[in-house]
Amino acid sequence: PRDRSGPGPHGFESRLLSLVSTLPETAVPSETFIPVSPPRPRRYLTDLRSDGPVARAIRRAYREFEPDLIHLHHFDAAFAEVAAALRTTRVPILFTAHDAELVCPNGQLVRPKAIICEGGIRPRCRFTGCSVGWGLPYELAQRAVFDRYVAPRIHSYLCPSDSLCRYLASHGYRPTVHLPSFAALPDPVVRSP
């Protein structure tokens, strides 16, 4: 069993499961790479299955590590397996929204001709001229699985900006927490308009 008395000399113990289409040559001791198909049409099918190597790896890591929380960074590759595995867990889940992908297929909330979009992955995305990633049916299936099985389990959505917090909250993804970048900005950047 893990020592749960507090952080060690390098912080709290963690386990990292990374879904990768190309296996790196090295990993840190607490990291496990799970191979997934590269982003090609074949992955359409494998992403829709709910039981496979990704789900088994998540369940095994959860059982062996007994985490206090799960931190989910993306909901892309093997999304149905990830959702199925997370449904069996009983700890809080944090989701880091690195961009607006939860509410926009291209993650930017900007339509062609630099028109700001109100977001929300819906059938209308097919008619805005936006790039919809792997195709609208895939994006709609991915969002439906997230909204039905994962979103109810999310304890908090961590966002790099206040505006992203507002977008997510306005689409029902809440509570959101603005977690600013830890990078120190140079004075000229801070003073710029």
Residue ending a domain, among 90, 115, 142, is: 90
Q: Specify the pLDDT at position 41.
A: 76
Q: Which residues of 47-79 are buried (b: 16+ CB within 10 A; e: fewer)?
A: beebebebbebbbebbeeeebeebebeebbbbb
CB neighbours of 29 closer than 8 A, spacing ≥ 6? none
Structural domain includes residue 189 = no
> Given a cut of 70, is residue 10 above it in pLDDT?
no
24 inside domain:
yes
When mean pLDDT is compared across 44-58, 81-95, 103-117, the lowest value belongs to 103-117
Do residue 75 and residue 151 come from a single domain?
Answer: no
106 within domain boundaries: yes
34 lies in the same domain as 84: yes
Does this model's pTM top 0.85? My answer is no
Which domain does 19 fall in, by range? 1-90
Could you tell me if residue 186 is inside a domain? Answer: no
pLDDT tens digit sequence for 50-59: 899 999 999 9
Number of domains in the chain: 2
The per-residue pLDDT of the chain, averaged, comes to 86
